[in-house]
Amino acid sequence: MMGSDHMHRRWSNLRKVLERSGPFCRPDFEPSTETLQFLLDNCKILVIGAGGLGCELLKDLGLMGFRQIHVIDMDTIELSNLNRQFLFRHKDIGSSKAEVAAKFINSRIPGCNVISHCCKIQDKAEDFYRQFHIVICGLDSIIARRWINGMLLSLLVYEDGELDRSSVIPMIDGGTEGFKGNVRVILPGLTACIECTLDLYPPQVTYPLCTIANTPRLPEHCIEYVKVIQWPKENPFECAIDGDDPQHINWIYEKSIERAAQFGIQGLTYRLVQGVVKNIIPAVASTNAVIAAACATEAFKLASSCSASLNNYMVLNDVDGIYTYTYEAEKKEDCVACSQVPKEIEINNPKFKLNDLIEFLCEKPDLQMKNPGLTAYINGKNKTLYMQTVASIEERTRENLTKTLVELGLRNGSEINVADITTPSTIVLKLKFVYCNSDM
Amino acid sequence: MASPAPKSPEQSERNRKYDRQLRLWGDHGQAALEGAHVCIINATALGTEILKSLVLPGIGAFTIVDGKKVTSEDIGANFFLETDSVGKSRAQIATQMLLELNSDVRGDYIDEEPDQILYNSPDFFNNFTVVVATCLVEKSLVLLSQRLWELNIPLIVCRTIGFIAYMRIQVKEHMVVETHPDNEVPDLRLDKPFETLKKHVDSVNLDELSFKDHSHVPYLIVLYKFLEKWILSKRELPKSYNEKSQLKQMIREGIRRDENDTSNSEENFEEAVKAVNTCIGRTEIPENVMNILNNDQCINLTAKSSSFWIIAKAVRDFVENEGGGLLPLKGTLPDMTADTEKYITLQQIYHKQAIADAEAVWRRTLQLLRQLGKSSDSIPERDVKLFCRHALNIYVAKGTCIADEYDSKIFDASNIVQCLENPESMMVYYVILRGIEKFQTEYNSYPGEFDDQVEPDIVKLKVCITKLLNEWGCGPLVKDDYVHEFCRFGGAELHSVSAFLGGLAAQEVIKFVTNQYKPVHNTFIYDAVTSNSGTFFF
Ligand SMILES: [Zn+2]
């Protein structure tokens, strides 16, 4: 029953497209039985995230002939996952997503060998990532996507300025929100990367402090007020807000209701409070299934060469009928992450302070850094200009924030090394002073 | 503490489990989903993938109809079968494994071929909310289509071959109140203000306001004032780009500058300038809504009319009377820079007018129910309110019967001919898929199903397609490479292509069940090689 005849027939659907040639195959495609064997035995795939997309991806990959799969996710299973993350059951709540998902797939699909990693992506080093043929992201975090993008770019090998093609690990990225989704195929160093198109991600909705404090109009303003002003002041549970603690949500709900009543604002609900506090993105099984499936198809085409790849971005929306749109996102000549050219930052004001520079790095739509740490080579010495993430260094470098770049010893053409949680590598920025002053 | 804080509502387990989707279709959408019973014909990989995305969000019940036994090929593509289920009933195993996903869902199966059921127990389908069919041969498809057309039950037909996916939706008539448009135009009525709005804005004099108040007036009032001025001199709304630019300039000139801080500008005025493009248009009833209100089913109600049409008629009567030619007011305002008091006051004015309009429509609904001899509780007041709130975006789709596509005497192929003139059109896939159905009827296999038959099958499939095109009065298809590609597929079902269509088909089911969002109208084709898709109407 479980003999080779069964195995042979089990993959008969895949074998039709892998062992026959067709008019639309890629020119480098050779129909053969070896392709399936490569998928089954050798092709190593990394799935990042074992959530809504991740569960679907593992199933899809397993049934498209991939068996050497790793999955990485640091999260544990929650009740609100169960409406779409179909590898998890009620009894699994509290367990590691990666572990439960891997175990489920391995037991359902014979021969499938999913290996789980319950940790952050940042806990793994270059050698870990280098072993894969393809990386697929099913993430809801932009920062994590950017970090992986940076990691795969850092693995590229250039010889005499020429990219060594064998060092390219394709990255397939899926994302969903409600009934909308997108899929993209990135060939690091060759096609548009995540940073090339960073302005596609809209900045998070924020409410001006003066509005939430003085002129609230929406229920969201009342919730934000309780979250950012009232909570730190009253510190009801002597800890930071935990969006998963119902006591915390209840407290915020009750205080928000009071504030809304005080201003005559209507429409404040418990669901809205949860949504604002936890920054909840609506999600449904069907969209995750669709987007993950498209990612898996791309992985199959890339690994087997049996067909051309998506070039290179697809958006989907099924609110009004079903709408898809495919286009080629363009690689940016001066992309900070993938261009090999230090990005120039124009400074047009001699009073430009280090603080201004940090703000600039965080707010510029094509940089969107979070808490950049800056170092530079000044007068023959490597000097830390500012670093927020290490308390002792922060304290020591804080005074630099109010100094101008010139006071810090930086000159036209100086290079600044920037580290940020959005990338595993250091980014080099080149200062270009564009104001006229002979003293400089 | 002055007054005790209100108690937090207890979050039920159900609410917490479905939280992420309740934010999309609401509690009433969920209730509709939980009341639905869907039938799936054939537990192929595509069939179970569709069901997966319905069982997870908590559909009430499903029934699988499938007379086949599980094969090794099935297991390679279908996640809801197991290696040791080979030889057992596919309907039974798939039902068991899908039920494991959600204990709220009921499921059963009929271990019989759909043909048998269609012939022997035609009443079987009477009580389903939606029927979904995968992998159905031509003859059964035509029968099923006719049966469900008579019953007025939506039918979704899905199929994937190799990298190509196809979905056809059959529904006689489908009405949607909540379409959830992505870009909703606010219903502000600046050109035709209602009495209370006019009174309120007239009571504000921008010139007499303090600097602080001037910069805290909601932009809507600013816009109203300047529009009023414009109409006074020009007699009509600004229409052209040029006229709108002039109005913007007028508003900009109304900005007061702070003498101490020249960089400071008034944000509310800036917002008013931006809103000129979106908020200044003639308030009228959109054409598609007008068509619905003028539809014969709306004008001539009968005892059989559905609540949608009864409420639509009540709205129509409202428009002709209290509404003064306009729909009931939506009653919601976009956010705008303002102080709390000024914003809330304005919000209340819109809100109260919307309530008054909805009440008028409700009274007219009751009147209609009486005339039709129906009880007054046959339509809940909240349905009328919902209808009024979304009146600008209601949608009615009139469908066609799939069986008509298979009757060359009725079928109008001119659309196909026209599409095929465009070399990029995905219509070619429709034609080939139809040819494959003919091939299956004739040879009882897929073209290219057997390794040694690929070449001869290309010729045979071409003959089938040419015959079909002849019946439609079309010339031959000159796309041999596409025919070849389908023979390469040999009817293969690739899991990821089926999973893609499965998610989309499930979403279409949810649209029918919840009466929210617009379904595909009516044929969808997807090519997983390029990721392109197309929608056609047959
Ligand atoms: Zn880049």
Instruction: Give me the DSSP letters along B371-431.
Output: HTT--GGGS-HHHHHHHHHTGGG-EEEE---HHHHT-TTT---HHHHHHHTSTT-THHHHH
Contact status, residue B44 vs residue B493, Cβ threshold 8 Å: yes
Q: What is the pLDDT of residues B78-96, one digit of tens each?
A: 999 999 999 999 999 999 9
Q: Residue-wise over A269-283: b if at least 16 C-beta within 10 A, else e? A: ebbbbbbbbeebebb
Q: Average pLDDT of B115-129? A: 93
Mutate to test the interface with A, among B7, B13, B19, B517 (most CBs of A within 10 A): B19
Return the SS3 of B474: coil
Cα–Cα distances in angstroms (integers) from residue B304 to residues A24, B154, B301, B514, in the given order:
54, 19, 8, 21
- CB pairs A-B closer than 8 Å: 258
pLDDT of residue B477: 79
- CA neighbours closer than 13 Å in the CB half-sphere of residue B55: 29
Neighbouring CB atoms inside 10 A of A308's CB total 14
Ligand 1 centre from A161 Cα, in Å? Answer: 16
Least confidently predicted of A285-289, B475-479, B480-484: B475-479
Return the SS3 of B160: strand
CA distance B48 to B62: 11
Instruction: Give me the DSSP letters along A142-183.
Output: HHHHHHHHHHHHHT--EETTEE-GGG---EEEEEEETTEEEE
CA distance A52 to B401: 36
- pLDDT of B6 strictly over 60: no
- Chain B residues 294-333 with CB within 8 Å of chain A: none
CA distance A352 to A235: 38
Q: Average pLDDT of B222-241? A: 93
CB contact under 8 A, A13 and B448: no
- Chain B residues 41-60 with CB within 8 Å of chain A: 45, 49, 52-53, 56-58
E strands, B72-149, in order? 106-110, 130-134
Q: Does B520 touch chain A if contact means CB atoms closer than 8 Å? A: yes
Q: Average pLDDT of B310-322? A: 98
- CA neighbours closer than 13 Å in the CB half-sphere of residue B334: 16
Q: Average pLDDT of B230-245? A: 92
As a whole number, the mean pLDDT across chain B is: 94
Least Cα separation, residue A244 to chain B (angstroms) = 11
pLDDT of residue B1: 39
- pLDDT of A211 strictly over 60: yes
pLDDT of residue A343: 86
Contact status, residue A83 vs residue B20, Cβ threshold 8 Å: yes
Q: What is the pLDDT of residues A236-250, one digit of tens each?
A: 999 999 998 989 999
Q: Does B29 touch chain A if contact means CB atoms closer than 8 Å? A: no
Q: What is the pLDDT of residues B254-298, one digit of tens each?
A: 998 766 665 567 899 999 999 998 888 899 999 999 999 999 999
pLDDT of residue B184: 87
Q: Edge-to-edge strand order for the sheet containing B523-527?
A: B106-110, B61-65, B37-41, B130-134, B155-161, B164-170, B523-527, B532-536
Mutate to test the interface with B, among A63, A225, A316 (most CBs of B within 10 A): A63
Ligand 1 centre from A430 Cα, in Å? Answer: 17
CA distance A57 to A63: 10
- CA neighbours closer than 13 Å in the CB half-sphere of residue B38: 35
Q: Residue-wise over A120-149: b if at least 16 C-beta within 10 A, else e? A: ebeebeeeebeebbbbbbbbbebbbbbbbb
Q: The whole model's pTM is what?
A: 0.94
| All residues at 6 or more sequence positions from B36 whose CB lies less than 8 Å from its CB, including other chains | B59, B60, B61, B129, B130, B513
- Find the length of chain B: 538
- ∠ Cα A243 A248 A253 (to 5°): 100
Least Cα separation, residue B459 to chain A (angstroms) = 15
Q: Which of B162, B143, B159, B160 is nearest to B151 (CA)?
A: B143
Active site residue A118: no
- Chain B residues 328-387 with CB within 8 Å of chain A: 335-340, 343-344, 347
Place of tokens 């609230």: A216
Sign of CA dihedral B268, B269, B270, B273: positive
A6: nearest CB among B72, B82, B163? B72
Alpha helix ranges (H) inside B215-330: 219-234, 241-253, 267-279, 287-293, 296-299, 307-320
- pLDDT of B4 strictly over 60: no
CB contact under 8 A, B344 and A82: no
- Chain B residues 427-466 with CB within 8 Å of chain A: 448, 451, 454
Q: Which residue of B has its CA nearest to A281?
A: B20
CA distance A119 to A128: 13
Q: What is the pLDDT of residues B153-200, one digit of tens each?
A: 999 999 999 999 999 999 999 999 999 999 888 999 999 999 999 999
CB contact under 8 A, A321 and B79: no
CA distance B441 to A335: 56
- Read off the pLDDT band of A439 (50, 70, 90): very low
Neighbours of ion ligand 1 (CB under 5 A): A 193, 195-196, 335, 337-338
- ∠ Cα B112 B118 B119 (to 5°): 100
CA distance A34 to A31: 8
- ∠ Cα B205 B206 B209 (to 5°): 90
Q: Which residues of B touch A67 (CB under 8 A)?
A: none
Q: Average pLDDT of A125-139? A: 97
Q: Which of B41, B228, B202, B138 is nearest to B468 (CA)?
A: B138
Q: Which residues of A touch B180 (CB under 8 A)?
A: 319
Q: Which member of A25, A55, A210, A335 is catalytic? A: A210
- Burial classification of residue B459, based on how many CB atoms lie within 10 Å of its CB (0-12 exposed, 13-18 middle, 19 or more buried): exposed
Least Cα separation, residue B149 to chain A (angstroms) = 21
CB contact under 8 A, B518 and A80: no
pLDDT of residue A438: 47
pLDDT of residue A203: 75
Q: Which residues of B touch A271 (CB under 8 A)?
A: 19, 22-23
Cα–Cα distances in angstroms (integers) from residue B430 to residues A235, B141, B155, B538, in the given order:
64, 16, 18, 11
Helix or strand (DSSP H, E) at A233: helix A231-234
Neighbouring CB atoms inside 10 A of A225's CB total 23
pLDDT of residue B10: 65
ipTM comes to: 0.95
Q: B157 - beta bridge partners?
A: B133, B168
Q: Average pLDDT of A397-416? A: 92
B485: nearest CB among A13, A24, A59? A24
Q: B261 - beta bridge partners?
A: B258
Q: What is the pLDDT of residues B407-420, one digit of tens each?
A: 988 898 888 988 98
Q: What is the pLDDT of residues A388-400, one digit of tens each?
A: 888 889 999 999 9
Q: Does B395 touch chain A if contact means CB atoms closer than 8 Å? A: no
pLDDT of residue B8: 63
Least Cα separation, residue B445 to chain A (angstroms) = 15
Return the SS3 of B521: coil
Q: Edge-to-edge strand order for the sheet containing A323-327?
A: A113-117, A68-72, A44-48, A134-138, A171-177, A180-186, A313-317, A323-327
Return the SS3 of B130: strand
Ligand 1 centre from B450 Cα, in Å? Answer: 46
Q: What is the pLDDT of residues B317-350, one digit of tens each?
A: 999 999 999 999 999 999 999 999 999 999 999 9
Q: Which residues of B touch A264 (CB under 8 A)?
A: 340, 344
- Read off the pLDDT band of A437 (50, 70, 90): low
pLDDT of residue B260: 63
CA distance A351 to A332: 30
pLDDT of residue A248: 95
CB contact under 8 A, B100 and A89: yes
Return the SS3 of A285: helix
Cα–Cα distances in angstroms (integers) from residue B50 to residues A289, B159, B499, B507, in the given order:
10, 12, 8, 9
8-state DSSP, B190: S
Q: Does B416 touch chain A if contact means CB atoms closer than 8 Å? A: no
CA distance B37 to B520: 21
CB contact under 8 A, A322 and B524: yes
Q: What is the pLDDT of residues A323-365, one digit of tens each?
A: 999 999 999 998 999 988 888 899 888 899 999 999 999 988 8
